[in-house]
């Protein structure tokens, strides 16, 4: 279910995500117009290993687990983001992410994600840094 938020309330939620925490208000307004906020139940699979990547996610509230080939890799919490590997590399998803509690998620389509990293060099560098770290973990 997509929620309706005022820009100010949505901007406050955006600032809880490490990727957006220090963005100026004007930029937060643009970012908030590019994404949807969705409430999801516990046990919801947000992305599945091997699938085509169509979205980029930021966890606003709640927890999720990241697994690969059935093995738990990490636990995500409020402020974490994921889904960038498939979008940047234009490759299948490298992991499955499943909520472990009811969660509120910020969702960018692949087109909105590309626009986001095109317009903001700081966000692009942070996303690429996370991408490099995570891809390094996959190849080790």
pLDDT for 1 equals 44
| Range from 13-27, 68-82, 108-122, 126-140 carrying the lowest mean pLDDT | 126-140
Residues 6+ apart with CB under 8 A from 34: 108, 112, 115, 116
Structural domains of the chain in order of their starting residue, each with its CATH number: 7-139 (2.60.120.10)
pLDDT for 7 equals 53
- Average pLDDT for residues 49-67, to the nearest whole number? 95
- Residues 93-129 pLDDT 10s: 999 999 999 999 999 999 998 888 888 778 877 777 7
Q: Is the pLDDT of residue 82 over 50?
A: yes
> What is the average pLDDT score of the chain?
85
* Percentage, residues of the chain above pLDDT 90: 46
Nearest to 123 by CA among 19, 45, 5: 19
Q: What is the pTM of this model?
A: 0.81
Q: Is the pLDDT of residue 40 over 60?
A: yes
78 within 8 A of 13, measured Cβ to Cβ: no
- Average pLDDT for residues 18-27, to the nearest whole number? 80
Helix/strand/coil percent split, the chain, to 5: 40, 30, 30
pLDDT for 30 equals 84
Residues 6+ apart with CB under 8 A from 13: 5, 37, 60, 104, 106
pLDDT for 52 equals 94
pLDDT for 137 equals 60
């Amino acid at each position: 279910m997509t929620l309706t938020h005022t820009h100010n309330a949505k901007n406050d939620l955006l600032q809880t995500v490490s990727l957006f925490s220090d963005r100026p208000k004007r930029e937060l307004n643009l970012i908030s117009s590019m994404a949807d906020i969705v409430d999801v139940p516990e046990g919801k699979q947000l992305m599945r290993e091997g699938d085509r990547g169509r979205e980029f996610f930021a966890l606003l509230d709640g927890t999720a687990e990241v697994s690969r080939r059935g093995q738990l890799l990490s636990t995500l919490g409020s402020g974490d983001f994921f889904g960038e590997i498939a979008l940047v590399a234009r490759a299948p998803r490298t992991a499955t992410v499943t909520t472990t509690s009811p969660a509120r998620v910020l969702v960018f389509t692949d087109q909105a994600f590309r626009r986001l990293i095109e317009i903001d060099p700081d966000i692009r560098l942070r996303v690429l840094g996370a991408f490099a770290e995570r891809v390094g973990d996959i190849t080790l």
